Structure 1
Amino acid sequence: MSFTDPLRSVPDFDAGDAEWLHLLVGDWQMVADLGVGDLLLCFPRGVVPGPQSPTGRPIPAEGGDFLVLAHARPTTGATAFQKDMVGEIVADDAAQALRRAWIDQRIEQAGASEWESLAPRSVLLVPLVRNGRTIAVLTLTTESHHDRLPSRMELVYRQSASDLLRMANEGTWPDFAVRIDSRRGAPRVGDGLIRLDTDGVVEFCSPNGLSTFRRLGLHGDITGQNLVRAARQLPLNAPGVDETLAPVLAGTMPWRAELSAVKASATLRAIPLRRGGERTGALILCRDVTELRRRDLQLVSKDATIREIHHRVKNNLQTVSALLRLQSRRMNSPEGRNGLQQAMRRVSSIARVHESLSHEISEDVDFDDLIRHQVQLAVETASAGQHVRTAVHGHFGRLPSKSATSVALVVNELVANAVEHGLKDRSGTVELSVRHLEDEVSDSGTTYVVLEIAIEDDGRGMGDTVIEESGVSAYRPPSEGEGLGMQIVRTLVASELRGVIRWQPREPQGTSVVITARFPQPHTGRG
């Protein structure tokens, strides 16, 4: 359930109000850190609709309570609440103070008698107003420090929090124009804070902010300098300041940008400050992301290396397959030629799996496209002049690379066996079908995907004999007439696929080979 559901239940409020509150809560950690206090988002449990209220706007019912919808704690100081306040009820005098702030639509300090339980803390009430309507009340609860003088950084932090809360009261912050950036390394208050005036000149720079710019190559202090001009003096990878970066450094647009110097990188985020529609300055959050970007580059390099390895393995296997094909053509013995062709087919099956892996970052394989080509290749290689049709039904989905290699080899052997023995000297059809059974969970908690794979032909059949093998029974000496291919199938099904294989007659004619295979749940991407 969304925390804005109580808001949506009031007809006077719309989806835009709820979305704005989502933006606020998504970004208000910055205010909690700057104000060094806890933030609570409060909404009345009873609202008098606009047409029925004396002000013509929705107001809390007289004597009603308020519900805490969201709670944020500061990372720059101690919390005022030892328990999570979400879902708690604010009643009595405190609720009346919230109601007064809601109606007056002005930021005010709660009286000591109204919040006796929080003494000696200070509680600031901030009604959130959009389009002339209060849609919630935000409270900032901070420790009172009357026994010491605050530092310059504390004063700037508190002033910055006050500016953002005033903009929230006016409905001008957060800004819907904020761009979403999915890259890692979003700057936070503790990473570095710079405050600019209306001309883009640095009024204050926190120690961490100054350290970030010095790592980028700045010499000296930046306080009193125009931040755009100071950035132009840095040894950046790209000359000058680009069009996206300049508005961020000037604090005119609520965007994120990145400064990349020769040996360091930093992310920047601008929050323009306004009063009554007029710009009064800006806050710039900055963060040194040099090590983050270095690790990102290592990951990209690692992914490229892994794909290149798979590509080279595929090329090497294709070379081996080509050599086997050439050698088979020089063989005078039909048995020797057939053995080399079977080896060539098996090597090609493994090569196709590595070819798929060379195109993706994931170690999982989209098996459906791969197996369709594999079935056709196995039929073409095994058929000796007869016309054999193929059909594939169902979807495998993504399989782990190790399992994909085993399945490809098993399908290759069974399809070739169906053509060579079931359809010997005749035309017919070989069908591959797959069906997903219910997942299984092992004692260790591993989830296994269970597939039922069937390879069927309409050939001469195997009589009424039914053979089912799994586990230890698969590791036996080959029976009469059984070749290397069936030994490979039995071994892979039992060991790699954790499954069961069953040979049985097919109606009205032919043979059906059904495999129940188990695979570890594949990953959807990098963990």
Structure 2
Amino acid sequence: MSTLSDLVYAQGRASEADVEWLHRLVGDGQLLADLAFADIVVWVPTADDSFIAVAHTRPSGAATLFYRDIVGDRVRPQWRTQIRDAFRDARIVDSASPDWFEETPTRVRAVPIVRAAATAEDPAQVIGVLTRHTNLGETRTPSRQQITFNACADELFEMVASAEFPDLDAPTSPRRGAPRASDGLIRLDVGGMVTFASPNALSAFGRMGFDDELEGESLVEVITRILPDKQEFDETLPVVASGRAPWRTDMEARGVAVSLRAIPLRDRGTRIGAIVLCRDVTEIRHQEQELITKDATIREIHHRVKNNLQTVASLLRIQARRTHSDEAREALTQAMRRVSAIAVVHDTLSEGLAQNVDFDEVFDRVLKLVAEVAAAPSTRAQTHKTGRFGTLPSEYATPLALALTELVTNAVEHGLAGKEGIVEIDASRSEDRLAVRVRDSGVGLPEGQVGRGLGTQIVRTLIQGELGGTIDWHTIVGSGTEVTIDIPLRYIQRASGS
């Protein structure tokens, strides 16, 4: 399915500022749908003076009218005139009589979406139309909460038509734990006094220790009485609780955490009150804290593994220096290098929260290690890396780092033995594969000697056995050796859970 940006840009009539405004409005589409107890559809004009739906939000507290997604559909004939008039005249247009949609009576309201002026050269303008589709088939005597919700929706629709909603001063925040209308809604007047509090809002404040009625109280004073003495709190809390700024903050009392979001209500630039949404996020905060603790524990484990591996590498290095046999010294040096390569991966994992690693960073560090350790005094090797590996899950970063360590080491020690030359490593990544080419400018290996050594066997085991990839050696006497590795990314993505 096309994204909102794709659909809007495809019409050839919108700027980046228009798309950003529509994204912010659609981000609050669920709030508008829940307050209006109706489906909310956003339309933008097309090149042939029609309209196309670019977003649709269904209400969570009422039956939807559209059981099939209409995003990407052109406007239906029965709505075209109403939407066109709202767009052309920059005014809210209500249907004169009930509109029948699939044998269901509905009421349609068309609201022009007006974007605020960005600069003097870019004045406010109508960039689309929002329609509210109310199901009249389920009409019943509205409750006080429904009346209040509808009134809040109407005020927000007026703000949409006057370029006052969405509010660009409202910072974008993570959706996890964001309060919704159904979680708890408090209506404030211009002085910050509570004129309505939904049952869920009362329950949230009751769990924090406030047992009285909220209506008729100053929300700022209520929160002041709830918060424990000497407790530090977000300095934006009073501003949010008074409804003066479109911000979001958290408060905590008696072990209960509540998230608050304020939406100032304005009438042609004059503040007339506010909506404060509240949600009990205690369990969410506990889960987040547990995740943070687990992440810290995992990072500490990686750090300790790295330290232990570096200790093992140091012991191998000391043992190699005290060994009189050249063959034993070489074996210990190679083992030390392999252990050090694994330590680099764990060191990288210990620095971040994710269990994925930027393999380019890992390999750059491994490359320096190999070039310094593998080169003999008579060998002057230069390593050159091109392309990008990208991000890989840790369980694949380790075998790939080891395999490339072996290949570069072989290129330096054998391909360039006693000579000056270059080892080139080229990485090429697409959507479904990772290809790596390692080539040296040495003399090449005679036929029959490729794939006989321990290092080559290790590389085959890592690439074919653990990564499910393929590896191939090409050697031309006098022109060096080239090794190509191909790893299917679908294998990596399945292992990483992506």
Q: Name the TM tier (shorter chain).
A: 0.7 to 0.9
- Give the 5 Å matches for 1:326-345: 326-345=318-337
Offset at residue 89 of structure 1 (A): 3.3
Q: Which amino acid aligns with 1:182?
A: P
Residue 134 of structure 2 is aligned to residue 150 of structure 1? no
Picking from 392, 401, 404, the partner of 1:408 is 401
Residue 188 of structure 2 is aligned to residue 187 of structure 1? no
The answer as to whether partners of 1:107 and 1:169 remain within 8 angstroms in 2 is yes
Offset at residue 284 of structure 1 (A): 0.8
Cα distance in 2 for residues equivalent to 1:337 and 1:115 = 87
- Give the 5 Å matches for 1:461-480: 461-463=444-446, 465=447
1:495 counterpart residue number: 465
- In the alignment of these two chains, the number of paired residues is 482
The CA RMSD measured in Å over matched residues stands at 3.8
The answer as to whether partners of 1:400 and 1:519 remain within 8 angstroms in 2 is no
The answer as to whether partners of 1:467 and 1:502 remain within 8 angstroms in 2 is no
The answer as to whether partners of 1:68 and 1:90 remain within 8 angstroms in 2 is no
1:25 counterpart residue number: 26
Cα distance in 1 for residues equivalent to 2:225 and 2:183 = 22
2:38 counterpart residue number: 37
Cα distance in 2 for residues equivalent to 1:167 and 1:400 = 47
1:52 counterpart residue number: none
Secondary structure in 2 matching 1:284 = strand
- Give the 5 Å matches for 1:63-212: 70-86=55-71, 87-91=73-77, 95-96=80-81, 107=92, 109-112=94-97, 120-127=105-112, 137-144=129-136, 148-182=140-174, 184-212=176-204
Query: What 5-or-longer segments of structure 1 have no aligned partner?
Result: 48-59, 440-446, 470-478
Offset at residue 315 of structure 1 (A): 0.7
Q: Which amino acid aligns with 1:73?
A: R
Picking from 373, 382, 391, the partner of 2:383 is 391
Secondary structure in 1 matching 2:387 = coil
Cα distance in 1 for residues equivalent to 2:457 and 2:46 = 72
Seen in structure 2, the aligned counterparts of structure 1 residues 132 and 326 have a Cα distance that, compared at 3 Å, is closer
The answer as to whether partners of 2:302 and 2:350 remain within 8 angstroms in 1 is yes
Offset at residue 104 of structure 1 (A): 6.9
Post-superposition CA distance 1:131-171 (Å, at most 9, x none): 89766554433244897532221221122122222333343
Seen in structure 2, the aligned counterparts of structure 1 residues 345 and 105 have a Cα distance that, compared at 3 Å, is closer
2:487 counterpart residue number: 518
2:208 counterpart residue number: 216
Cα distance in 2 for residues equivalent to 1:69 and 1:517 = 41
Cα distance in 2 for residues equivalent to 1:134 and 1:410 = 59
Picking from 458, 465, 484, the partner of 2:442 is 458
Q: Which amino acid aligns with 1:121?
A: T
Cα distance in 2 for residues equivalent to 1:144 and 1:245 = 40
Offset at residue 177 of structure 1 (A): 2.3
The answer as to whether partners of 2:187 and 2:275 remain within 8 angstroms in 1 is yes
Q: Which amino acid aligns with 1:346?
A: R
TM norm structure 2: 0.82
Query: What 5-or-longer segments of structure 2 have no aligned partner?
Result: 116-122
Range that drifts further, 111-120 or 155-164: 111-120
Offset at residue 99 of structure 1 (A): 5.8
Post-superposition CA distance 1:452-473 (Å, at most 9, x none): 333x2535x544x25666xxxx
- Give the 5 Å matches for 1:260-275: 260-261=252-253, 263-275=255-267
The answer as to whether partners of 1:258 and 1:266 remain within 8 angstroms in 2 is yes
The answer as to whether partners of 2:92 and 2:109 remain within 8 angstroms in 1 is yes
Offset at residue 307 of structure 1 (A): 1.8
The answer as to whether partners of 1:25 and 1:70 remain within 8 angstroms in 2 is yes
Secondary structure in 2 matching 1:177 = coil
Secondary structure in 2 matching 1:292 = helix
- Give the 5 Å matches for 1:438-453: 447-453=432-438
Picking from 357, 360, 364, the partner of 2:356 is 364
Secondary structure in 1 matching 2:263 = strand
TM norm structure 1: 0.78
- Give the 5 Å matches for 1:231-246: 231-235=223-227, 239=231, 242-246=234-238
Offset at residue 78 of structure 1 (A): 1.0
Q: Which amino acid aligns with 1:111?
A: A
1:347 counterpart residue number: 339
Post-superposition CA distance 1:408-460 (Å, at most 9, x none): 33344444445555555x34335132242766xxxxxxx44232333x2535x
Cα distance in 2 for residues equivalent to 1:419 and 1:19 = 53
Q: Which amino acid aligns with 2:26?
A: V
- Report percent identity of matched pairs: 39
Q: Which amino acid aligns with 2:400?
A: V
Secondary structure in 1 matching 2:182 = helix
Cα distance in 2 for residues equivalent to 1:512 and 1:266 = 64
Cα distance in 2 for residues equivalent to 1:437 and 1:156 = 55
Secondary structure in 1 matching 2:170 = coil
Seen in structure 2, the aligned counterparts of structure 1 residues 14 and 82 have a Cα distance that, compared at 3 Å, is same
Offset at residue 127 of structure 1 (A): 4.8
Cα distance in 1 for residues equivalent to 2:138 and 2:487 = 68
Residue 299 of structure 2 is aligned to residue 299 of structure 1? no
Secondary structure in 1 matching 2:313 = helix
Secondary structure in 2 matching 1:75 = coil
The answer as to whether partners of 2:124 and 2:163 remain within 8 angstroms in 1 is no
Cα distance in 2 for residues equivalent to 1:363 and 1:116 = 50
Q: Which amino acid aligns with 1:404?
A: A
Post-superposition CA distance 1:465-523 (Å, at most 9, x none): 25666xxxxxxxxx6xx5x4344334334323432242523435xx4151424153666
Seen in structure 2, the aligned counterparts of structure 1 residues 175 and 491 have a Cα distance that, compared at 3 Å, is closer
Cα distance in 2 for residues equivalent to 1:132 and 1:428 = 67
2:119 counterpart residue number: none
Cα distance in 1 for residues equivalent to 2:415 and 2:99 = 89
Picking from 470, 478, 492, the partner of 1:507 is 478
Offset at residue 24 of structure 1 (A): 3.1
Q: Which amino acid aligns with 1:516?
A: I
Cα distance in 2 for residues equivalent to 1:373 and 1:195 = 57
2:118 counterpart residue number: none
Cα distance in 2 for residues equivalent to 1:337 and 1:241 = 62
